[in-house]
């Protein structure tokens, strides 16, 4: 059963308002997750730590998502989706307000980890709600609309938070994110009705249904294939300063270029999956590999660098495609699988900066993040090939069994 099998009748206006409310949460999460990447030099100076240690702070948030998504999805299965979304965004707000007041490196690690805990469960439940409101052939588009909040955060929220952090103090950026999270609580409360007839999840049944190869292979694609984008994006600010040799004022511009690419990629990913289904993931991984291989060549000039940032942003196209595919193959593990997919994305968010930091520390230079990222994207494509063969083989075997 897919989420759309349980559609509740809402007017087109009501559906739009629900999508806006859910996307606002994505806007807050995207701004909170990525703002620190644009403020890496500022956070390093403010906490008296190295930029590599700020990379560890980024990884701490990502690991919070990895841990929190499955745990909160299982616990949250006992709640109505409306109540769960409100609770998750309230916790996210607290985590960001605490980050804004962190006195040192270790407390910042802890607060970013705590802020990351609700991330995956929120997106998973929000995508399920969005998919349940539209016909089956429009699910990927509905999911991409919710994720549009994330890409708008890259285009507007992240550059705005970066500017705010540079002109005032980096702590104001996290306070700004906390306010957005509280606004989301208000919007979800106002626009998303409580549906007491919604299908309730059974945690034990979800755990059983979750443990199947096609789910794990899909998560493996997310966790490895997406790492390249985070590898480049996490070190975009110091690459601009150290390799392209431009002033700090160009950092928000490059982040906006990345965000514009994310919006194009988000729309394209949903559109492509609705037409090609799982094959779309393979083509998008090949596209990602090519972009990342070319990235080091673009870092010497600000205009080619802006074009490269836009191109790397289009890798977001993998998100709606993989999210919708996972909902297709998850059977009765809808909530757990949808949330855990964001654990996989943020495992990529932890893996990318870690691998990139290793390459930089080894003396390969800031531009080497592109080559490291290309290797992870190609590894993700190799996993896709295995997953695609399994995806085609299982229905064929079922057909043979039925003929017997």
pLDDT digits (tens, 9 = 90+) for 255-312: 888 888 988 888 888 788 888 888 888 899 999 999 999 999 988 889 999 999 999 9
Q: Comparing 272-276, 287-291, 315-319, 326-330, which segment has the lowest mean pLDDT?
A: 326-330
Token couple for 101: 């007041």
- φ/ψ of 2, rounded to 5, equals -100, 160
**CA 201 → CA 129, 149, 161, 188, 357, distances in Å?**
13, 26, 37, 21, 40
**Among candidates 130, 180, 76, which has minimal Cα distance to 323?**
130
**Which pLDDT band, with edges at 50, 70 and 90, does 393 fall under?**
low
Phi then psi dihedrals of residue 246, to 5 deg: -115, 170
- Tell me the pTM: 0.72
Residue 2 domain-assigned? no
Residue 1 domain flag:
no
Q: Which domain holds residue 33?
A: 9-403
Count of alpha carbons within 13 Å of 329, Cβ hemisphere only? 24
User: Does some domain include residue 281?
Assistant: yes
Going by C-beta distance under 8 Å and a sequence separation of 6 or more, which residues neighbour residue 214? 329, 387, 390, 391, 394
pLDDT, one tens digit per residue, over 58-105 is: 878 878 888 888 888 777 777 888 899 999 999 999 999 999 999 999
What average pLDDT does the segment 309-337 reach?
80
Residue 193's pLDDT band, with cuts at 50, 70 and 90, is confident
pLDDT of residue 1 exceeding 80: no
Tally the domains of the chain: 1
Alpha-carbon Rg for the chain, nearest whole angstrom, is 20
The domain that holds 75 is classified in CATH as: 1.20.1250.20
CA distance 243 to 13: 48
Rounded to whole angstroms, the Cα distance separating 11 from 124 reads 23
The pLDDT value recorded for residue 404 is: 44
Nearest CA to 269 among 261, 257, 281?
A: 281
């Amino acid at each position: 059963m897919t989420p759309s099998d349980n559609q509740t009748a809402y007017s087109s206006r009501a559906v739009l308002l629900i999508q806006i409310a859910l996307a606002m949460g994505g806007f807050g999460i995207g701004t909170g997750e990525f703002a620190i990447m644009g403020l890496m030099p500022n956070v390093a100076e403010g906490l008296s730590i190295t930029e590599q240690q700020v990379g560890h702070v980024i990884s701490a948030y990502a690991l919070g998502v990895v841990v929190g998504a499955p745990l909160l999805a299982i616990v949250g299965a006992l709640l109505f989706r409306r109540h769960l979304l409100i609770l998750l965004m309230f916790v996210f707000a607290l985590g960001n307000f605490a980050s804004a007041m962190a006195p040192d490196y270790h407390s910042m690690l802890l607060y970013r980890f705590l802020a990351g805990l609700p991330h995956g469960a929120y997106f998973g439940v929000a995508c399920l709600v969005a998919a349940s409101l539209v016909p089956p052939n429009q699910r990927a588009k509905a999911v991409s609309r919710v994720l549009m909040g994330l890409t708008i955060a890259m285009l507007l929220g992240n550059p705005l938070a970066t500017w705010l952090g540079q002109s005032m103090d980096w702590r104001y950026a996290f306070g700004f994110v906390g306010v957005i999270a509280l606004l989301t609580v208000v919007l979800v409360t106002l626009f998303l009705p409580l549906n007491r007839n919604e299908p309730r999840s059974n945690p034990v049944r979800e755990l059983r249904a979750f443990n199947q190869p096609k789910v794990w292979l899909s998560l493996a694609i997310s966790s490895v294939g997406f790492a390249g984008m985070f590898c480049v994006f996490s070190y975009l600010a110091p690459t601009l300063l150290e390799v392209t040799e431009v002033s700090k004022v160009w950092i928000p511009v490059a982040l906006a270029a990345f965000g514009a690419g994310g919006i194009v990629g988000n729309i394209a990913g949903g559109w492509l999956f609705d037409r090609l289904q799982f094959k779309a993931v393979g083509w998008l991984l090949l596209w990602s590999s090519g972009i990342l291989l070319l990235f080091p060549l673009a870092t010497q000039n600000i205009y080619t660098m802006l074009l490269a940032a836009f191109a790397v942003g289009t890798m977001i196209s993998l998100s709606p495609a993989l999210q919708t595919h996972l909902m297709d193959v998850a059977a009765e593990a809808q909530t757990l699988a949808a949330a855990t997919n964001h654990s996989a994305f943020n495992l990529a968010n932890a893996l990318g900066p870690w691998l990139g930091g290793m390459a930089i520390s080894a003396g390969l230079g800031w531009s080497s993040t592109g080559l490291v990222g290309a290797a992870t994207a190609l590894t993700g494509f190799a996993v896709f090939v295995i997953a695609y063969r399994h995806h085609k083989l299982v229905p064929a075997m079922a057909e043979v069994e039925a003929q017997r």
